[in-house]
A and B are shown apart, each in its own frame.
Chain A
Amino acid sequence: EVQLVESGGGLVQPGGSLRLSCAASGFIFSSYWMSWVRQAPGKGLEWVANIKQDGSEKYYVDSVKGRFTISRDNAKNSLYLQMDSLRAEDTAVYYCARYRRGFYYYMDVWGKGTTVTVSS
């Protein structure tokens, strides 16, 4: 079964750091682009970051550039999101998603999400 499982969320103070992880199984992780997408409480979906199969290309939404870093370890079938200088507006459920990038671009497999709360 194709599966993504996020972990690492929690409560953190403004200005703090958190590292999210996403464990992939049931597919060849190293063959796919991967993404992080977040959803603030009661709000819509917001794309956060993408990473290429070998980690050589990374893209971010403007609001997290310079603060968040996406990375992956293909040997461990794992995706990561290092979040620094966290702000209240980063409070959200963070989803890991498999990003299909070929003739079509879309996200076809999603994890259940991990919740990040930034508050003092």
Chain B
Amino acid sequence: EIVLTQSPGTLSLSPGERATLSCRASQSVSSSYLAWYQQKPGQAPRLLIYGASSRATGIPDRFSGSGSGTDFTLTISRLEPEDFAVYYCQQYGSSFTFGQGTRLEIK
């Protein structure tokens, strides 16, 4: 089973700042099978990025994904108040696994 490790566990930033979230895999992952989700308290996850770098429908262009192999990154260029949430990466190898999440909180 491929393990995804997200860092940092918690990221404290202010609106307008740039956020960089990391997702590292225990073995190489196909970029086609790497996705990012956003989850706000009491809500279902929301797809942000699929294929490591493709934005889902309706996702603002301040969200971008990059990476390959074992290292992937989600970047939010200029934080808006509604972006403070928990972010999960997900991969498909022989089965789906999720990272443990990065909590993005207001500083």
Contact = CB atoms under 8 A, between A and B. Distances in A.
Interface residues of A, number: 21
Interface secondary structure of B, over-half rule: strand
A12 interface: no
Contacts of B8: none
Interface stretch (A15-23, A24-32, A42-50): A42-50
B32 A44 contact: no
B97 interface: yes
Given A44-B101, A105-B33, A113 B95 contact: no
Interface of chain A: mostly helix, strand, loop or mixed: strand
Number of contact residues on B: which range applies? Answer: 20 to 34
B95 A107 contact: no
Contact of B56 (A44, A108, A111): A108
A108 B96 contact: no
A112 B44 contact: yes
Contacts of A106: 33, 35, 47, 50-51, 90
Given A105-B92, A107-B35, A45 B45 contact: yes
Contact of A113 (B44, B88, B99): B44
Nearest to A59: B95
Given A59-B95, A61-B95, A105-B32, A44 B100 contact: yes
18 contacts: A35-B96, A44-B98, A44-B99, A44-B100, A45-B39, A45-B90, A47-B95, A50-B96, A59-B95, A100-B50, A104-B35, A104-B50, A105-B32, A105-B96, A106-B35, A106-B51, A107-B35, A112-B44
Given A50-B96, A110-B46, A113-B44, 15 more contacts: A44-B88, A44-B98, A45-B98, A45-B101, A47-B90, A47-B95, A59-B95, A61-B95, A95-B44, A104-B35, A104-B54, A105-B92, A107-B47, A108-B50, A110-B47
